[in-house]
Structure formats: structure tokens, C-alpha cells
Amino acid sequence: MHIPDGYLSPSTCAALYALSGSGWWVALRKIKRLLMTRAIPLISVFAAFSFVVMMFNLPLPGGTTAHAVGIAVAAIVLGPWGAILSLSIALAIQALLFGDGGITTLGANCFNMAIVGSLVAAGVYRLIVGGSADGAKRRVVAAAIAGYVSINTAALLAAVEFGIQPRLFHDAAGTPLYAPYPLHVAIPAMMIGHLTVAGIAEAVLSAGMIGYLQSTNSALLRGIVVVTPGIPSAKSERKLWVTVALLMLLTPLGTLAVGTAWGEWSADAFTKAPAGLQRLSSVWTAPFPSYAPAFIKSTTFGYLLSAMFGVGVLVLISLLTRAIGRKELRP
């Protein structure tokens, strides 16, 4: 679901960057400045959580892969606006450092997963939860459904963005310039794997995490924007980082699923890549492409090292913003 460079036309990318930019602006406005300096460490935790979760690739029929994202968990704990920022940070780090998703298409990936995904997850969760008590099982079920619906909504948007490319952008002979998959190919190819595998994984992840938080730190489920006391203490936040660290140590399991996610192939994978796709595919070269540092010969260790590096960047962001927040709170 991470659309690479070259699959979308420049005008499509620009339009989706504009939509994402609007979403980022609203999210920043919704989370007030003082609250944000306190909330960013928590936003960083869930950015790290989503980053690590997306490294667990799941095998799909046909030799491709998919993964969960952690959309609903972020939307429930951080609220939709905090989740937009958290997931966008994770997606940006993936694109910039590891080439997982493109730079030209970062706006599209953020729009699909971070913005629309977060809003859908929050809306579905709140609709199902209603006025149920904090520890009700209904909330766990609501989290599962919110996760399933949100990731499939994001996948459908990506499929439509793929599918409109050959119809709108082609040369004089009708040859597609960017993604060559029409809607009747892109939608089934993308949705079958997400409806049957990735969506279920997202539902299980969402239900498991919300159930865990209900029993260990229910204050987190009240939302960082609506209820200021819901922001965790340093001790509580450390527990979340420990959870991320444990998941990080398991990321080499993500290498067991061979193949590439549908629609994420490099230009070299095509017998004859579309002209626009080939031109834009090299617009950015990530320092550690495909989570495989060139100086590490072991695929498993390289994958783990990449996870550690990505999480380390987010830990650094958390520490820096915490220091800034404490400085601003001093009288």
C-alpha cells in the first residue's frame, strides 16, 4: 500500500500533497501548541509502533505480501488528529530513509493511511462504542472493526489512484505513462489481499492493543486532545516504548514472507517500464533501501538494524520535544 515513486503522475501527486497538507494543517491546529509539546512524545511512541508493525510482512496468494499499519490503535489513543501526525511521521521516515513508499507519492500515502485512515478509524470506533463504559468488551470489538474498515478504506483509495492513471495519463498511442493497471485490475488485486489477510491482521492488532491498554492504562484511551490527564506519565510512556522494543526485536520475522507488496515493484521489475514511471522512480535514493543496509550482508540482521535505526530516530524526536516542552513550561 506504500505507493512508490513513478506510479502516480506529478499532477496526481501534487493534488494529494495539497489534500495531505490541509490535513496536516488542521491536525496541528487541533492540537494546541502547549498541549502538543506534552503530546509529541506520545505521538512519537505510536509513530514508532506503526513503523515497526509495518515491517511485519504477511504472505499473500500469488507471491505478494501485505502488512498491518496500526491505524485504529493510533486513532483511538491519540484521537484522529494526533494519529494523522503520528502515522505521517512514520511514513515519512520509511520513505526518506528506507525507500518504503516514494517521496513524490508521500502525500498520497499519508492521505490514504494517515489522514483518511485515521478519520475513518476514529469515526467507526466512536459510532460502535457509543456510551459504553471504559472497560467494556464492546470497545475491543469496536477497535477490531475500526482497524479492519480503516485499512481497507486506505487500500481502496490506493487502488483507485493506481487505476485512474492509465485512463488519464498515456501517450499518443494509448500506452500508460505511470501505473499501468486499470481500475478493473487494481481494485481486485489490492482489495483481495487486504480484505482477507491484512484487514484481519489489523483487526487482531487493534483489538489486542486496546484490550491490553484497557487493563494496564485505561487513561490512554480517553484521548490526548480531549482529556489532558490522559497523557501518560513518564513511567507509563516507558512501558509503551518497551512494547515497541519487544516488537522491534521480532521484526526479522517480517523477512520470512517473500515477495513484494502488489503495486510496489521497482521500475527494473517491468520488462518495459512505463516512461513516466521509469523517469520518476529514481527521483530519490534512500540511504538504506528496502531495509537492507549495503554494508550488512545478513538480510535478517540488516532488517533488524534498520528497525533499530528507525525507532532510534523517533526516540530522539521524543527526547528533543520533551526537553523543549519542559523548557517552555518553566515559569
**Which CATH number fits the domain that encloses residue 314?**
1.10.1760.20
In residues, how long is the chain? 331
Distances (CA, A) of 106 to 55, 56, 113, 219, 243: 18, 20, 11, 33, 27
For residue 1, tell me if it sits in a domain: no
Rounded Cα distance between 232 and 237, Å, is 6
Strand partners, 63: none
Which DSSP helix (H) or strand (E) runs through 65?
strand 65-66
The boundaries of the domain holding residue 278 are: 10-329
Phi first, then psi: what are they for 308, rounded to 5°?
A: -65, -40
Which residues fall within 8 angstroms of residue 329, CB to CB, at 6 or more apart?
34, 37
For residue 315, tell me if it sits in a domain: yes
User: Given this model, what pLDDT does residue 46 score?
Assistant: 94
Phi first, then psi: what are they for 125, rounded to 5°?
A: -60, -50
* Nearest C-alpha neighbor of 53 from the set 20, 94, 108: 94
Burial 291-321 (b: 16+ CB within 10 A, else e): bbbeeeeeeeebbbbbbbbbbebbbebbeeb
For residue 99, tell me if it sits in a domain: yes
SS3 266: coil
The three grid cell numbers given for residue 60, joined into one nine-digit string: 499473500
User: Given this model, what pLDDT does residue 238 score?
Assistant: 79
pLDDT 10s per residue in the chain (331 long)?
899 999 999 999 999 999 999 999 999 888 875 455 567 778 899 999 999 999 999 999 778 999 999 999 999 999 999 999 999 999 999 999 999 999 999 999 999 999 999 999 999 999 999 888 878 899 999 999 999 999 999 999 999 999 999 999 999 999 999 999 999 999 999 999 999 999 999 999 999 999 998 988 777 777 654 444 444 556 667 788 999 999 999 999 999 998 899 999 999 999 999 999 999 999 999 999 999 998 999 999 999 999 999 999 999 988 887 776 666 555 5
Burial 57-78 (b: 16+ CB within 10 A, else e): bbebeeebbbbbbbbbbbbbbb
Report pTM: 0.94
Which DSSP helix (H) or strand (E) runs through 148?
helix 137-168
User: Given this model, what pLDDT does residue 239 score?
Assistant: 82
User: Given this model, what pLDDT does residue 291 score?
Assistant: 96
Distances (CA, A) of 245 to 39, 54, 163, 216: 20, 14, 38, 18
Quickly tell me which residue has 530522539 as its cell. Answer: 316
Which residues fall within 8 angstroms of residue 315, CB to CB, at 6 or more apart?
44, 48, 241
User: Given this model, what pLDDT does residue 225 score?
Assistant: 44
Distances (CA, A) of 163 to 37, 157, 173, 285: 41, 10, 18, 26
User: Given this model, what pLDDT does residue 296 score?
Assistant: 92
Rounded Cα distance between 143 and 122, Å, is 9
pLDDT in tens, 162-202: 999 999 999 999 999 999 999 999 999 999 999 999 999 99
For residue 5, tell me if it sits in a domain: no
User: Given this model, what pLDDT does residue 237 score?
Assistant: 76
For residue 2, tell me if it sits in a domain: no
For residue 70, tell me if it sits in a domain: yes
**How many distinct structural domains can be found in the chain?**
1
Rounded Cα distance between 331 and 327, Å, is 9
Q: How would DSSP label each residue in 155-187? A: HHHHHHHHHHHHHHSB-TT--BSS----HHHHH
User: Given this model, what pLDDT does residue 329 score?
Assistant: 52
Strand partners, 9: none
**How many CB atoms neighbour CB 248 within 10 A?**
20
User: Given this model, what pLDDT does residue 230 score?
Assistant: 42
User: Given this model, what pLDDT does residue 240 score?
Assistant: 87
User: Given this model, what pLDDT does residue 292 score?
Assistant: 92
How far, rounded to the nearest angstrom, does the alpha carbon of residue 162 sit from its chain's CA centroid? 18
